[in-house]
Amino acid sequence: MVLEHALIGTLALIKHRTVNRKIGVPLAIFEMIYYSFLLITFLNFSYQFISITIVFLLIHFLGGFWYIFDKLYSYNDKGTISLTLLGREGGQKKLYTVYSFFEFGELIFLLYILFLSV
């Protein structure tokens, strides 16, 4: 999970793209399942962990279902998923930048969980 978030965050920030759909759909499903289990694990922990996990879980379910059912994404000629924002190229780069910060925020959260578990 840590490598995945570092890779996708970097791709979104630098190359303005994510992973191809063959990898992306199983990854989206895995992340929805992962955050569901993480929420169950944190039920006995503080409200901070529960609330952050709920936020990530909701975002992954909404984004994951959009990703899987093609509502928010389009494809470029390489078969790579391209985020679209009102069909504008400039908006697309801004959206990728925001998306990369979300991925890096999620990476920090996962590293913190890993740090606490050691």
- pLDDT higher than 60, residue 43: yes
In the predicted structure, residue 86 carries a pLDDT above the cut 50 = no
Instruction: Please tell me the predicted confidence (pLDDT) of residue 41.
Output: 84
The full set of domain ranges for the chain reads 2-117
Cβ(82)–Cβ(76) below 8 Å: yes
* Structural tokens at position 13: 């920030």
Q: What is the mean pLDDT of the chain?
A: 78
Is residue 73 over pLDDT 80?
no
75, β-bridge pairs: 81
